[in-house]
Chains A and B, each alone.
Chain A
C-alpha cells in the first residue's frame, strides 16, 4: 500500500474549508434571499427585552418576540393564525373566534385541547405547513418559541408577520404575562383586561384556600413523568399552600422520577391527568404500580385524576386547574 499525507491534515483541512464555505453561503443567501421584504432587514432586534411590549396603546402596535424580532401591526389583526396548541387557547380566550383563521392540529383533539369544541364548530384551517399558512393570507402568525427557525424565517421571507411567543412557562406569573402580551398584540384592550383579570382573580382566590392543618404532600404525575420545581404545576401547588414532593426531593422541571424516589417522597396525594371517560382506567393503572400503591396516597386511595385538558393547560385555562385541585385537596367550595 502507498502511504498518504498525514491523517490530521486530511481530516482537518476539509473541516475548515467546509465550515468557511458553509458560513459564507449562509451569509450570502441570507442577504439576497429572493422575496425577502426590505422591511425585514430593518427590523429592530432587542434581545435585552425578549418579552418586552413596546409602543403606544393605539395602533400601530409592535412587540418583540422571544427571538428578538419585532412584529408591527399597523391595524388590529383580523386574520390570526396560531401554530401551537397553547397559543390556540390564548387566542380563543382573547379574540372573537372568527378572527382565528388557522390553528394547530392539536386544536381539533378533544383529549388535549380546551378549545376543540370551538374548532370543531368553526373549522379553522390547520396551519400544518408554510403553504397552508401563506394561503390563508394572515395578518399575524403566532408561533411557539420552540418552533424551528426555518419555518419561521420562511414565513417572514414570504412577507407574513410572525410573532414568536414564549410557550414553555414555568409559573402562573408567566401565563399572566403572556395574556398581557398577546392581549396587547391581538385583542381589544377591554377583552384582554377581562381575561387577565379573570385569571388573576382565580389565582388570588386559590391563594385563599389554605390547608386546615399540615400542607398536603402532592405528587403530580403525567405517565411516568413528574412535575418538579420550575413548572406551572409546582406554582399551582405553591399558590394552594400544598407541598410538591417532587420539587422537595430535588426534581427540577418535568422529568422521569424513579419508583424509589417516589417511595421515599411518599406523597399523600397523587394528581394525574387523563382524557375524559378514561379516568377510572388510569386510576386503576396507577394503583397497580407497587411503588405508587404503597405510598400514603396509594394506601388511602387519594389519587385524583383530572381531565387531561385541564391538567396540561398552559394558557388562561390553567385557572381551571387551580379550582379543580383546590376542590380535590380542600373540598368543593360552597
Chain B
C-alpha cells in the first residue's frame, strides 16, 4: 500500500468514525438534527466528543512516533519521561483539592502544568554541563514517572475517605471523552495541531537522531536543541491529551508501530500518518466504549487497552519470529 493510499484510507476511516460518532449514542437523533434537543446533543455533546477523541488519538500517536524515533526503541511511548504520570498527578491534585468540581478548566490546566513541571525537573536532573544524554533522560524519566504514580496513589489513599471523589478519580484515570465540551476541544486541538506540524517540519532531524546522536551531529544537527524540541513537543502532545481524556493506554505505543510497518520509518510521512491513524483508532474505540454495554459506557482507556494489548503482543511475537528465522 502506498503512503498516499494509507493516508486516504485513514482519512476515510476517521470520517466514517466521525459520522458514526455523531449519529450513534445513547439518545436517538434524526438527520438533519432540526429538533432543538437533537441540535444540543449533536453540536454540544457529540461533535466535541468526536473532536476531542480525534485530537487525543492524533496527539498520543504522534508523541509515540517521536519518542520511538528519539529513543531508537519501538517500545518507547509518551509516558516514558514521566509526562503521563505527571499529568495524572496534577489532575488528582485538582480532584482532591475540590477544584475539579468547581471549574471544568481546572482539571486540564492542572494536568498540563504538572506534566510540564515534571518534564522540566526530569530534563534538569538529566542535564550534565548543558548536555542531556538520552539514557539519563530515560532512566530519570522512568524514576520520575514511578514517583508521580506513587504520589498519585498516596493522594488517592489519603482521600479514599470520600469514596465519591475517589470513584470520580478512578473513573477519570481509566480515560474517557464523555462529557467533553468545546472547551476541551480548544484546550487540546491547537496544541496537537502545532505539535504535529512541528515534528513534521523537523522530521529530517528526527530521522537523523534516530540513527544516533553522534552521526546526527556529524551531519549538522544541533543535537541538544533538536532533542529538547522533540521532547517538549512530545510532552506537550501527551500532556494535553492526558489532560482532556485521562490515561489512554497503548495508543502511543501501538499505533506508530503499526503505521511504521506500512509507511516506513521516515518521520515526515510516519508522523502525519500516525496522527491520522491514532485519531481514527481513538474515535473508533470511543464508539465501542459507548455502544458496547448501554446504557453504561465502558471507559475508553479500557477499550484502547483491550484492543491495543493483543495487537502489541501480535506485533512483538511476529517480530521475534522474523528475528528467529534470520
In the complex, chain B residues whose CB is within 8 Å of the CB of A225: 160-161
Bound: A35/B116 CA distance, A: 33
Q: How far is the CA of A29 from the CA of B109 in the complex (A)?
A: 14
Pick out which of these stretches binds chain B: A5-13, A290-298, A299-307: A5-13
Give the residue of B129, B163, B184 whose beta carbon is less than 8 angstroms from that of A254.
B163
**Chain A residues, CB < 8 A from B165:** 146
Interface-located stretch among A90-98, A149-157, A195-203, A259-267: A149-157
In angstroms, how far is the closest chain A Cβ from the Cβ of B213?
Answer: 6
Contact status of A7 and B123, CB under 8 A, knowing A33-B182, A149-B104, A254-B161:
yes
Q: Is the CB of B187 within 8 A of A150?
A: no
Interface residue? A4 (CB, 8 A): yes
CB of A22 within 8 A of CB of B109, answer yes
Tell me whether A321 is interfacial, beta carbon within 8 Å. no
Mark out the residues of chain B between 30 and 65 whose CB falls within 8 Å of any chain A CB in the assembled complex: 37, 40-41, 43-46
Q: What's the Cα separation between A126 and B186 when bound, in Å? A: 30
- Among candidates A3, A146, A164, residue contacting B130 with C-beta atoms closer than 8 Å: A3
Chain A CB within 10 A, most for which of B123, B172, B178, B297? B178
In the complex, A129→B164 CA distance in Å?
Answer: 17
Determine if B225 and A4 form an interchain contact, defined as CB atoms under 8 angstroms apart: yes
Known: A131-B25, A253-B161. A154 touches B120 (CB 8 A): no
Q: Please pick, from B25, B124, B164, the residue contacting A144 in the complex, using a CB distance under 8 A.
A: B164
Whether A7 and B236, one on each chain, are in contact in the complex, defined by CB atoms closer than 8 angstroms, is: no
- Nearest A residue to B25, CB-CB: A131
- Contact status of A134 and B41, CB under 8 A, knowing A148-B107, A153-B104: yes
The stretch of B147-155, B216-224, B265-273 in contact with A is: B216-224
| Shortest CB distance B55–A (Å) | 13
Known A67-B102, A150-B104; contact A2-B223, beta-carbon cutoff 8 A: yes
Partner of A134 from the list B37, B103, B132, B290 (CB cut-off 8 Å) is B37
Q: What is the bound-complex CA distance between A150 and B172, given in angstroms? A: 12
Q: Cβ of A128 < 8 Å from any Cβ of B?
A: yes
Q: Give the docked Cα–Cα distance between A2 and B37 (Å).
A: 59
CB atoms of B224 and A147 under 8 A apart: no
Interface membership of A137, Cβ < 8 A: yes
Given known A1-B223, A11-B119, A26-B183, contact A132–B108 (CB-CB < 8 A): no
- Whether B324 is near chain A, meaning CB under 8 Å from some CB there, is no
For B131, the chain A residues whose CB sits under 8 A away are 1, 3
Chain A min CB distance to B163 (Å): 7
Are A2 and B222 in contact, CB atoms less than 8 angstroms apart?
yes
A158 x B182 contact (CB < 8 A):
no
Nearest Cβ on chain A to B16's Cβ, whole angstroms: 20
Within 8 A of A (CB), among B293-320: 295-297
Interface size on A, residues (CB 8 A): 61
If A1-B217, A7-B127, A30-B183 touch, whether A67 touches B161 (CB-CB below 8 Å) is no
Interface size class of B (residues with CB under 8 A): 35 or more
Interface residues of B in 203-228 (CB under 8 A from A): 213-214, 217, 222-225, 227-228
Given the known interface contacts A18-B112, A129-B178, A154-B44, the answer about A28 and B186 at a Cβ–Cβ threshold of 8 Å is yes
Cβ–Cβ contact B181 & A33, under 8 A: yes
In this assembly, does B179 line the interface, its C-beta being within 8 Å of a C-beta of chain A?
yes
CA distance A14 to B107 in the complex (A): 19
B27 interface residue per 8 A CB criterion: yes
Q: A10-B123, A167-B164 are in contact. Are A149 and B106 (CB under 8 A)?
A: yes
Q: What residues of chain A lie closer than 8 Å to B181, measured between beta carbons? A: 33, 150, 153-154, 157
Determine whether the beta carbon of A10 is less than 8 Å from that of B101.
no
A48 at the interface (CB under 8 A from B): no
For the complex, give the distance between the alpha carbons of A254 and B165 in Å. 13
Q: B45 and A1: CB pair below 8 A?
A: no
The answer to whether A10 touches B46, judged by C-beta atoms less than 8 angstroms apart, is no
Q: Is A49 an interface residue (CB 8 A)?
A: no
A2-B232 in contact (CB<8A)? no
Instruction: Find the residue from B104, B108, B127, B168 having the highest chain A CB count within 10 A.
Output: B104
A-B pairs with lowest CB-CB distance, top 8: A4-B224, A11-B120, A135-B27, A3-B130, A26-B105, A146-B164, A150-B104, A253-B161
Q: Which residues of B contact A (CB under 8 A)?
A: 25-28, 37, 40-41, 43-46, 100-109, 112-113, 116-117, 119-121, 123-124, 127, 129-132, 160-165, 168, 172, 178-184, 186-187, 190-191, 213-214, 217, 222-225, 227-228, 232, 236, 290, 295-297
Q: Knowing that A11-B121, A168-B164 are A-B contacts, what are 7 other residue pairs whose CB atoms are under 8 Å apart, sorted by A's residue number?
A: A3-B131, A22-B187, A29-B186, A134-B37, A134-B45, A146-B165, A150-B180
27 A-B residue pairings within 8 Å (CB atoms): A1-B213, A1-B223, A4-B222, A4-B228, A7-B130, A12-B120, A18-B112, A21-B190, A21-B191, A29-B183, A30-B105, A34-B44, A35-B43, A129-B26, A129-B179, A129-B295, A146-B168, A147-B101, A148-B168, A149-B101, A149-B103, A150-B179, A154-B44, A154-B104, A168-B162, A253-B161, A254-B161
